Copies of this chain bind each other. A is one copy, B any other.
Amino acid sequence: MTSQALPFYFPAPRAQKFCSQCGSAITRRIPPDDNRLRDVCDQCGAVHYQNPRNVVGVLPIWEDKILLCRRAIEPRYNKWTLPAGFMELGETTAQGAMRETQEEAGAQIELGPLYTVIDVPHAEQVHFFYLAKVLSADLFPGPESLEAAFFSPGEIPWPELAFRTVITTLEHYLNDKKTGRFPIHHYDIPLPLPDPA
């Protein structure tokens, strides 16, 4: 062991080799009173459950324009996205969405209602987007964004958007603008079609 920070870090993948409680090797088995394979420690008895993650974000509106950020990180480096990221322990979806907007765009916002709730089972995620009013045109994008900018509906860079949940949230918004009613939309993003190669 060392107490020095390493020059680089990486997110631990889902696949586990060692028990987080006692350090022994992990076994894949169905625990008693369960019905699916888990990462189990047969030394100390710890069962390492894994669950989907929530991604929380905002659709920020400034006058008639939408705030987008160009990603400075993988996946989808250089693509445009709504401010969003993984929900953290101890916060609500709303608090997480505001935090991500601050971190990625440095935008001052007034959070509105929850707008889209999107199941993305192949990514093991649920995405939440809130409507929000941007309070000032001053933006201070953080290290995860190459830039942040406002787009009128006709200027949205559709082929350069990062994620299908961002595309569909924007589509719902532009459609709902016609009626002026913005109810919660809940839907699934199905598995992408396999490459026809």
Q: Which residues of A contact B (CB under 8 A)?
A: 1-6, 8-14, 16-27, 29, 31-33, 35-36, 39-43, 45-54, 86-95, 103, 113-114, 117, 119, 121-122, 124, 126, 143, 183-184, 186, 188
Contact = CB atoms under 8 A, between A and B. Distances in A.
Contacts of A121: 90-92, 95
27 contacts: A1-B42, A1-B43, A3-B42, A4-B42, A5-B29, A10-B45, A11-B47, A11-B49, A12-B41, A12-B48, A12-B49, A14-B89, A17-B21, A17-B23, A20-B48, A51-B53, A51-B54, A51-B86, A51-B89, A52-B54, A52-B91, A90-B121, A90-B122, A93-B119, A94-B188, A117-B184, A183-B184
A24 B90 CA distance: 27
Contacts of A48: 12, 20
Residue with the greatest number of chain B CB neighbours at <10 A, chosen from A41, A113, A122: A41
Given A51-B88, A52-B89, A90-B122, 20 more contacts: A3-B27, A5-B32, A5-B42, A11-B49, A12-B41, A12-B48, A16-B20, A18-B18, A18-B22, A20-B48, A33-B143, A35-B103, A51-B53, A51-B87, A52-B88, A52-B91, A91-B121, A92-B121, A117-B117, A183-B183
A25 B51 contact: no
Contacts of A1: 24-25, 42-43
Contacts of A2: 42-43
